[in-house]
């Protein structure tokens, strides 16, 4: 059968060109969205009197039959028919005859494919929002169980100050909260309908684009037909949000890899999220967080790829824009799979509370509290900072920690020290002293947890 657009051509398409330009290998994932858009379009055509309602019902029945076949896996897509639109239109013609050709009245593949992607991305974004919530819930589960668990806090990957493990986990909760809010906000741009813009200039038929938008649940229609068919901002925005989210996924994955190492032993990942070695039987490898960390690069690449495709394109549609789909589809799949793995992996990990505490008890991360102690005695902070630096150096030289020094040794650096300095230096006191809003004290962390729970419910 000749191409549906082949009337103007005198030669068959070169086989290599056919394979190179075909998109059906990946845009078949938009099949159900393509049918959904066509259902609304033909309904609008009938209501506007552009085609008879009898034809509308016949076309809708045909589309429904094709939809069921696709869902049941009974459809074989063809490279010769190029893309998902032509594949479905050909199936429709075979199903109901020439009347199927009326479906394409008042539209082009340009506004059709844009509509498909809007529909697809809207559905996927809503699902991703729920998956982000599941990750947040897993973080909350662990946070609630570790409100009293003290661990070293780090800067530059060096011991800095003691913090609660719950506080550390909640930092990721808020990262994912912003990701979730970005996804929710992006729905405003996704919910613009391009259908009815035609190839680039609109159509001569008296269509009702607002009615189509209503049928498909879109909030508004593109007011400019050129913009409607050439806009891929909504995909760029999604890829950008996905890249930021994968950054957060990668960061917590990195910590899980470090924390589960023999050197740290802060946590142990459940066996179901680890693998072994083919040669070293003792190994338990954190393959899942490593791969989550690694997959971040491909999502970044998809964003840069589409930015590069679009940067020099004149209006309106160009074949270059066929390159918009694979990166989007791949990113959706990657992000979806990553979130589905991350949530249960966090929730099922074992936290070694004693190991975390022993790490805090054998470092100098309580040094700042000595400086704060001297400040409460009236000493300027900068002078206190210098004194504590000397005390830390003295302790290191004598192979002691700050709690190991005697009161006489402290007084040799400043007469302001009293016996209560040893209470101030206890890890639990260090943590509880940081009771400012957003701080790591158990009171503040419990308030954070309550706020976090309201965030999950509110969305």
Active site members: 156, 277
State the CB neighbour count (10 A cutoff) for residue 260: 21
Cα–Cα distance for residue pair 251/109, rounded to 1 Å:
41
β-bridge mates for residue 350, sequence order: 268
52-90 burial, b if ≥16 CB within 10 A, otherwise e? eeebbebbbebbeebbeebeeeebebeebbbbbbbbbbb
> What's the gap between Cα 289 and its chain centre?
15
Residue whose C-alpha is closest to residue 335's, from 446, 227, 182, 223:
182
CB 236 within 8 A of CB 310: yes
Cα–Cα distance for residue pair 51/54, rounded to 1 Å:
9
CB 111 within 8 A of CB 228: yes
Place of tokens 């899980």: 256
β-bridge mates for residue 233, sequence order: none
| The pair of three-digit structure tokens given for residue 37, joined into one six-digit string | 């858009």
Peptide bond just before 316 cis, omega within 30 deg: yes
Using a 10 angstrom Cβ sphere, with 0-12 exposed, 13-18 middle and 19 or more buried, the burial of residue 16 is exposed
Question: For the residues of 123-171, what is the DSSP string, one character each?
Answer: HHHHHHHHHHHHHHHHHHHHHHHTTT-EEEEEETTEEEEEEEHHHHHHH
Cα–Cα distance for residue pair 360/148, rounded to 1 Å:
13
């Amino acid at each position: 059968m000749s191409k549906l657009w082949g009337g103007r051509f005198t030669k068959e398409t070169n086989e290599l060109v056919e394979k190179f330009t075909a998109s059906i290998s990946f845009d078949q994932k938009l099949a159900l969205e393509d049918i959904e858009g066509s259902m609304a379009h033909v309904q609008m055509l009938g209501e506007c009197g552009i085609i008879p309602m009898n034809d509308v019902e016949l076309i809708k029945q045909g589309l429904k039959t094709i939809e069921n076949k696709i869902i049941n896996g009974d459809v074989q897509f063809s490279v010769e028919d190029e893309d998902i639109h032509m594949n479905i239109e050909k199936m429709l013609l075979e199903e109901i005859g020439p009347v199927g050709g009326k479906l394409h009245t008042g539209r082009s593949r340009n506004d059709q494919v844009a509509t498909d992607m809007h529909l697809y991305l809207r559905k996927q974004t809503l699902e991703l929002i729920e998956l982000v919530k599941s990750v947040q819930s897993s973080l909350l589960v662990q946070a609630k169980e570790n409100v009293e668990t003290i661990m070293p806090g780090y800067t530059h990957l060096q011991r800095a100050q003691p913090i609660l493990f719950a506080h550390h986990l909640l930092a990721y909760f808020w990262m994912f909260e912003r990701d979730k809010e970005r996804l929710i906000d992006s729905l405003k741009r996704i919910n613009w309908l391009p259908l009815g813009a035609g190839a680039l200039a609109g159509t001569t038929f008296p269509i009702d684009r607002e009615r189509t938008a209503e049928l498909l649940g879109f909030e508004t229609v593109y007011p400019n037909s050129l913009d409607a068919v050439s806009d891929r901002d909504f995909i760029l925005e999604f890829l950008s949000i996905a890249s930021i989210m994968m950054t957060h996924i990668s960061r917590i994955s990195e910590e899980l890899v470090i924390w589960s190492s023999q050197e740290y032993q802060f946590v142990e990942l459940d066996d179901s999220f680890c693998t072994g070695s083919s040669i070293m039987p003792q190994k338990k490898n954190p393959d899942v967080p490593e791969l989550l960390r690694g997959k971040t690069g491909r999502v970044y690449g998809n964003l840069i790829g589409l930015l590069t495709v679009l940067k020099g394109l004149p209006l309106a549609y160009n074949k270059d824009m066929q390159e918009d789909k694979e990166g989007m589809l791949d990113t959706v799949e990657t992000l979806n799979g990553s979130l589905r793995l991350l949530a249960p992996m966090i929730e099922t990990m074992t936290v070694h509370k004693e190991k975390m505490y022993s790490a805090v008890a054998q470092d100098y991360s309580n040094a700042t509290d000595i400086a704060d102690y001297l400040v409460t005695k009236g000493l300027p902070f900068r002078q206190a900072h210098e004194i504590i630096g000397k005390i830390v150096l003295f302790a290191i030289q004598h192979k002691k920690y700050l709690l190991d020094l005697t009161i006489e040794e402290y007084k040799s650096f400043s007469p302001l020290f009293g016996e209560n300095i040893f209470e101030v230096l206890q890890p639990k006191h260090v943590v509880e002293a940081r009771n400012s809003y957003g701080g790591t004290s158990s009171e503040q962390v419990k308030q954070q947890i309550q706020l976090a729970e309201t965030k999950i419910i509110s969305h």
